[in-house]
């Protein structure tokens, strides 16, 4: 089978790395891909939201499965686009249809879904520019810190957590009235602050059945000790040591089952990954958010631990036979450390040559914001490369990642040296 992966990050390199190991995969294409995917698949110079160009490539390369990495094409309805076009409706698309992708596309939609299906989450109310004053009044009823979320997609930047009531009011106004995050903040969800430790739970579903993948924890802040600005993720660990069997059972019973049942009840067609951001408050899990795709860099630790053929799993998702698949997981821990461009998540330079990759031993270098140019591998984004390792413990794994990072270099390379510090 010929397969196309959409996306260009470390997540997509990891998908490609895993899928090329499958005997079911003939030719693998990645659009637009990066220097890592170029080494194991064929990159296609396409934009992930240019559906017509994707259709053309699918027909030209006789592609029968499309695996969607990022959320944008899903929220814009790529799966529906395929189903509604007679030339490509036979192609399996891994990712939910538009109506279900709203779980990530709209925070308000997700909160309504959670409440409707009795899934534990923070109390909330949502506001728009016609009722800003009511928003101020609601803030006054809460205790700090105040959590303000732009309703729509804001590239991971739309959540503000503020200690000061007046600042929270000012920010609410700036989001609703001054369009701080553009159209994405024309509605704002204000919610109760939950105090606890976070983890991510990944679920595969074919719309009827589900399978739970290993948990992971990512490190979102740029600075050591979880300080500074939010990033896409600076590193990750799987499994999460504090996710005991008892806690995982609670997650399955209280969150995963009602989520999958809720999708069915609400007629939200879903074939793909459900990424549930969870916070452990006391001994209880609560949902922070849904994403309708895999996480990045969580993928770089979750997929390497998956022993089962990923293409076989995707076929089962397409055929709605996921219940027949046995998911086998490597017992070892996996860790990844993200190398980023100096300055990220604010302004940074690109085009810096990355050296030392040939010396990496006992770890896997998943390329993210890196491309090939004139025979050299150079940086092309903020998050550049994820160095993944296995170990009997996460401490052993992380040590290996750091040892290999010593061998890598690019101008102004930065990374967190404390991944796992809080566990």
Give the position of tokens 């979880």. Answer: 226
Maximum Cα–Cα distance across the chain = 60
* DSSP summary character for residue 305: G
| Contacting positions for ligand AMP (CB under 6 A) | 122, 147, 149, 159, 191-194, 198, 277, 288-289
- Judged by CB under 6 A, the residue of 12, 102, 171, 296 near ligand GLY is 296
Minimum Å gap between C-beta 196 and ligand AMP is: 8
CB of 190 to ligand GLY, least distance (A): 21
CA atoms within 13 A on the CB side of 61: 25
The residue (of 202 and 210) whose beta carbon lies closer to ligand GLY is 202
CA separation for the pair 372, 411 (Å, rounded) = 16
Contact yes or no for 240/199 (Cβ under 8 A): yes
Q: Which is nearer to ligand GLY, 78 or 199 (CB)?
A: 199
Tokens of residue 233, six digits: 């993720």
DSSP string, 74-140: HHTTHHHHHHT-TTTTTSEEES--HHHHHHHH-HHHHHHHHHHTT--B--EEEEEGGGHHHHHHHHH
Under rule CB under 6 A, which residues in 226-285 are in contact with ligand GLY?
232-233
| Spatial contact of 202 and 305, defined as CB atoms under 8 Å apart | no
Smallest distance, Å, CB 7 to ligand GLY? Answer: 11
Residue 31 contacts which entry, ligand GLY, ligand AMP, none (Cβ below 5-8 A, type-dependent): none
Judged by beta carbon, residue 80 or residue 218, the one nearer ligand GLY is: 218
Nearer to ligand AMP, 226 or 312 (CB): 226
148 versus 333: smaller Cβ distance to ligand AMP: 148
Closer of 135 and 235 to ligand GLY (Cβ) = 235
- CB of residue 233 to ligand GLY, shortest distance in Å: 4
**Binder to ligand GLY among 108, 298, 300, 309 (CB under 6 A)?**
298
**Cβ 161 to ligand AMP shortest distance, Å:** 6
> What residue 80 binds from ligand GLY, ligand AMP, none (CB within 5 to 8 A, per partner kind)?
none
Distance of closest approach, residue 294 Cβ to ligand GLY, in angstroms? 7
Nearer to ligand GLY, 12 or 298 (CB): 298
Does position 388 bind ligand GLY by CB under 6 A? Answer: no
Residues at the contact surface with ligand GLY, assessed by CB under 6 A: 218, 232-233, 291, 295-296, 298
């Amino acid at each position: 089978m010929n397969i196309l992966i959409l996306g260009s990050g470390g997540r997509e390199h990891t998908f490609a790395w895993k899928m090329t190991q499958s005997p079911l995969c003939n030719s693998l294409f990645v659009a637009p891909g990066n220097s890592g995917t170029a080494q194991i698949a064929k990159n296609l110079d396409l934009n992930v939201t240019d559906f017509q160009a994707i259709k053309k490539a699918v027909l030209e390369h006789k592609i029968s499965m499309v695996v969607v990495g990022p959320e944008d094409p899903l929220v814009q309805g790529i799966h529906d686009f395929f189903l509604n076009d007679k030339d490509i409706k036979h192609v399996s698309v891994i990712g939910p249809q538009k109506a279900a992708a709203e779980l990530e596309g709209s925070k308000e939609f997700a909160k309504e879904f959670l409440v409707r299906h009795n899934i534990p989450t923070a109390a909330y109310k949502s506001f728009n520019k016609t009722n800003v004053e009511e928003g101020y009044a609601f803030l006054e009823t809460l205790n700090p810190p105040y959590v303000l979320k732009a309703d729509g997609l804001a590239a991971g930047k739309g959540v503000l957590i503020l200690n000061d009531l007046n600042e929270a009011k000012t920010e609410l106004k700036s989001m609703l009235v001054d369009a701080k995050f553009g159209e994405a903040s024309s509605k704002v969800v204000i919610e109760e602050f939950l105090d606890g430790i976070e983890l991510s739970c990944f679920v595969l579903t074919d719309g009827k059945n589900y399978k739970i993948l290993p948990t992971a924890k990512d490190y979102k802040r740029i600075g050591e000790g979880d300080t500074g600005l939010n990033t896409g993720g600076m590193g990750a660990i799987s499994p999460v040591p504090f996710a005991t069997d008892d806690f995982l059972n609670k997650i399955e019973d209280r969150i995963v089952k009602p989520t999958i049942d809720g999708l069915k009840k609400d007629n939200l067609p879903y074939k793909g990954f459900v990424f549930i951001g969870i916070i452990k408050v006391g001994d209880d899990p609560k949902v922070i958010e849904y994403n309708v795709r895999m996480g990045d860099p969580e993928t770089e630790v979750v997929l390497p631990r998956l022993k089962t053929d990923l293409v076989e799993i995707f076929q089962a998702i397409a055929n709605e036979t996921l219940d027949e698949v046995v998911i086998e997981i490597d017992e070892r821990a996996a860790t990844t450390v993200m190398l980023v461009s100096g300055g990220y998540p604010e302004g940074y330079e690109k085009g810096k040559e990355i050296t030392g990759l040939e010396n990496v031993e006992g770890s896997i270098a998943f390329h993210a914001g890196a491309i090939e140019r004139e025979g050299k591998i150079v940086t092309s984004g903020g998050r550049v490369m994820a160095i993944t390792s296995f170990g009997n413990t996460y401490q052993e794994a992380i040590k290996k990642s750091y040892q290999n990072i010593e061998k890598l270099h690019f101008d102004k390379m930065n990374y967190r040296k404390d991944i796992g510090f809080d566990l």
